[in-house]
Amino acid sequence: MASGIADETTVSTSAKNEAHLLYTGLNQDELQAKTAKSLLNYGTKFNKDVICGSKGLYVYTTSGHKILDWTSGQMSCLLGHGHPEIVKVIADHAASLDHLFSGMVSPPVISLAERLCNLLPPGLDKAFFPSTGGESNEAAIKLAKVYTGNFEIVGLGASWHGVTAQALGTQYHFGRKGQGPLMPGMLMLPPPNAYRSVFRKPDGSYDWEEELEYGWRMIDMQSCGSLAACIVECIQSSGGMHVLPSGYLAALKKHCEKRGMLLIVDEAQTGVGRCGDLMATIHDGVVPDILTLSKTLGNGLPLSAVVTNAEIDRVCSERDYCFYTTHVNDPLPASVGDKVLEIVVRDNLVEHSRAMGKILHDGLNKLKNKYGCIGDVRGRGLMAGVEIVEDRELKTPAQDLGRAVADRAYELGLWANLSSHSSFGGVFRIAPPITITEDLLISGLQLLDKAFETTPGTMAL
C-alpha cells in the first residue's frame, strides 16, 4: 500500500498532537531499515508506514498520518482500539491474574464459558478457549475425528481456516504450496460464489442447490468411506467476502447428517455481532455440531473458542481427546472475552451493527451506481466486500485499478483492505468496529467516494 499523505503538514501536526500515541519522535526510514534487516517474512509485504498508535477507530503512523480503520485491525478489534473498559480489564488481570498452569481454572474462564454458552442456542453448551482461530479450528477438527472415528474433512473452495496442519489442509485459498503433502483425507466442495459461479438457472440466477449437489457427488466419489466433518465460514472473507446463499447452511447440515458427519462453523470474523446477528449461524437458523470463534471475541487479543454439545464432549473425553496447550483457558484473555460479550449485549451492539450495516451497504451500492469499475457489492451487517472489475459484463478482475483506489483511499485517510490474490481478484474487505457511529461511517464512505473519483480508470457513470 502506498504511503503518500494528503495535506501532509496539517495531518502530521494533527496526528502528532494526539496525546495517546505510544511512540513519538521516531524516524520511519530507520524503522523500515531495521524491519528489512531483522523481521522474518511470514507471507505478506509490510505496509510502508510504521504504525505508532491506535485509538478508537483510528490508527496513526510515524509520519503523522491519521487513518480511519475499516478493517478493525486484522478484522478483530470489534469494539475499536483501546476501548477503556477493555484496557481496564487487561490492566487489572495483568496485575492480579494473568497466566496459570493449563490444568487450573479461574473465575474469568468460568464466567466466559457460562456467558457464551448462555448466549448461544441449545446444543452449543460447553466451551474451551485456545489462542488463535487456527488453533480453534485445529481443535474442532480433532474433536470431529475423535468423536466419529473417521478422518476425512470437507472444506469449501476459497476458504481460510488457519495455518496449522489440519486447518491448512482444509483451506483452499492460499498457503498450501511449497511444503510437500498436506494432511490426508481433505476434500473440497465448490466455492459458493454467487457472482462468478458457472452454475446458473435458465433466468441467469445462481443455482447453488445444483452446485452443492454436484459438489457432494464429487465428494462421495473421492471419499474412502471415512467422512468425519465439514467445516465452513458463513461469509468467506479472505476468499472475497462471499455470503452463503439463504438455505445453504441448512442444506449443508442435512448432507452432513446423511453421511454421519459433523458440521463445524468457523465464525472467526462473522461472530459476536459483526453481521447483524450475535452469530451468523443464528441468522441462518442452524445449530452446528461445533462452533469456533476467534478474532472478534478477544477484541484484538489472542483468544479463541471451541463450543460444542455435551454428548460430543462426553464421548471425546472417554476417548482421551487432548488439545492441551500452554495458553489454553488463560485468565487474562478470557477476562477480555467475557467483557467483550458483556459490552456487546449491554450496549445493544448487535442491533447497532445491523443498523449501521444498512447504511454501509446503501452507501456502497450508491458508489456502485456511480462507478463502472465496481462489479459487485456483497456482505451482511458491518461486513462488506466491493469487487473491482475492468468490465461489468465480462467481470474481468482489475487488481491494478483496485490497488490504485486503495492507495488513494489510504492517502485520504481511510484503510480498507484490498485482497488481491489471484484466486478471486481485487476485492475490498470492509469490517469496521461495530461501535462505529453514523457520522464516521458516512465520513468513510465520502473518503472512499473521493478515492474512486480521483483515481483514473474507475469509469464514472
Write down the pLDDT at residue 287.
98
Q: How confident is the model at residue 113 (pLDDT cuts 50, 70, 90)?
A: very high
Least confident span in 130-144, 317-331, 336-350, 411-425: 411-425
Residue 70 pLDDT > 50, yes or no? yes
Instruction: Report the mean per-residue pLDDT for the chain.
Output: 92
Q: What is the largest CA-CA distance in the chain?
A: 66
The DSSP line for 351-391 is: HHHHHHHHHHHHHHHHHHTTBTTEEEEEESSS-EEEEEEEE
**Could you tell me the residue ranges of all domains in the chain?**
1-69, 86-346
Write down the pLDDT at residue 11.
37
Residue tagged active-site, from 115, 259, 339, 429: 429
Residue 256 pLDDT > 60, yes or no? yes
Class of domain 86-346: alpha beta
429 a catalytic residue: yes
- pLDDT, tens digit (0-9, with 9 covering 90-100), for 2-55: 332 233 333 344 555 565 677 878 888 899 999 899 999 888 888 889 999 999
- pLDDT, tens digit (0-9, with 9 covering 90-100), for 199-253: 999 999 999 999 999 999 999 999 999 999 999 999 998 888 999 999 999 999 9
The enclosing H or E element of 232 equals strand 227-232
Residue tagged active-site, from 233, 277, 387, 390: 233
CA-nearest of 279, 334, 267 to 112 is 334
Angle (deg, nearest 10), helices 107-119 and 331-346: 40
Inter-residue contact 59 to 415 (CB < 8 Å): yes
Residue 367 pLDDT > 50, yes or no? yes
18 a catalytic residue: no
- pLDDT, tens digit (0-9, with 9 covering 90-100), for 381-409: 999 999 999 999 999 999 999 999 999 99
Does pTM top 0.85 for this prediction? yes
32 a catalytic residue: no
- pLDDT, tens digit (0-9, with 9 covering 90-100), for 257-289: 999 999 999 999 999 999 999 999 999 999 999
Q: How confident is the model at residue 417 (pLDDT cuts 50, 70, 90)?
A: confident
Residue tagged active-site, from 266, 267, 277, 330: 266
Average pLDDT over residues 339-364: 98
Residue tagged active-site, from 166, 171, 236, 269: 269
Angle (deg, nearest 10), helices 208-222 and 248-258: 30
Write down the pLDDT at residue 9.
30
Residue tagged active-site, from 295, 339, 354, 368: 295
Residue tagged active-site, from 49, 145, 160, 378: 160
233 a catalytic residue: yes
Write down the pLDDT at residue 58.
96
Inter-residue contact 383 to 430 (CB < 8 Å): yes
269 a catalytic residue: yes
More confident residue, 346 or 421: 346
Question: Coil, strand, or helix at residue 86?
Answer: helix
Write down the pLDDT at residue 322.
96
Write down the pLDDT at residue 7.
33
Residue 50 CA to residue 62 CA, distance in Å, equals 6
Side by side, the strands of the sheet bearing 51-55 are 51-55, 58-61, 66-69, 414-415
**Cα-Cα-Cα-Cα dihedral of 301, 137, 307, 75, to 10°?**
40
Q: How confident is the model at residue 340 (pLDDT cuts 50, 70, 90)?
A: very high
